[in-house]
Amino acid sequence: GDPDPVLRCIVSGFFANAAKFHSTGAYRTIRDDHELHIHPTSVLYAEKPPRWVVYNEVIQTAKYYMRDVTAVESAWLLELAPHFYQQGTVRNRHKGQTV
């Protein structure tokens, strides 16, 4: 089947925990621009990094690591959490792109 309905539900619950892959090889949170990394135990760790993710928790060791990470579509953030993300107000600080 189509995984999109389940992924959209995950975005509905974890919309505040969104991050975008950055050219530095790390992820940056959308709201506060914090640097995060995918935890080495994640199945996504060895994969090509998805452009957008949501995560359940962050743990701190030598770096800040996201756990329970899911690849998502950026458009879902605007669609499913318009009260949190408004088009044109959430920007990639380095390229001037909107969510």
Q: For the residues of 2-66, what is the DSSP string, one character each?
A: -SHHHHHHHHHHHTTSEEEE-TTSSEEETTT--EEEE-TTSTTTTSPPPSEEE-SEEEESSSEEE
Give the model's pLDDT for residue 29.
96
Say which DSSP state 67 is in. Answer: E
Tokens, residue 44: 């996504």
E strand or H helix at 77: helix 74-80
90 or 13, higher pLDDT: 13
Q: How far apart are the first and last CA of the chain?
A: 27
Q: Judge whether 55 lies within some domain.
A: yes
Q: Specify if 92 maps to a domain.
A: no
Residue 73 falls within a domain, yes or no? yes
**30 inside domain:** yes
7 within a domain of the structure (yes/no): yes
Q: Is residue 15 part of a domain?
A: yes
Instruction: Specify the number of domains making up the chain.
Output: 1
In tens, the pLDDT along 24-68 reads: 999 999 989 999 999 999 999 999 999 999 999 999 999 999 999
In a domain, 90, yes or no: no
Range of the domain at 74: 3-81
Percent over 90 (pLDDT), the chain = 80
Q: What is the DSSP letter of 68?
A: S
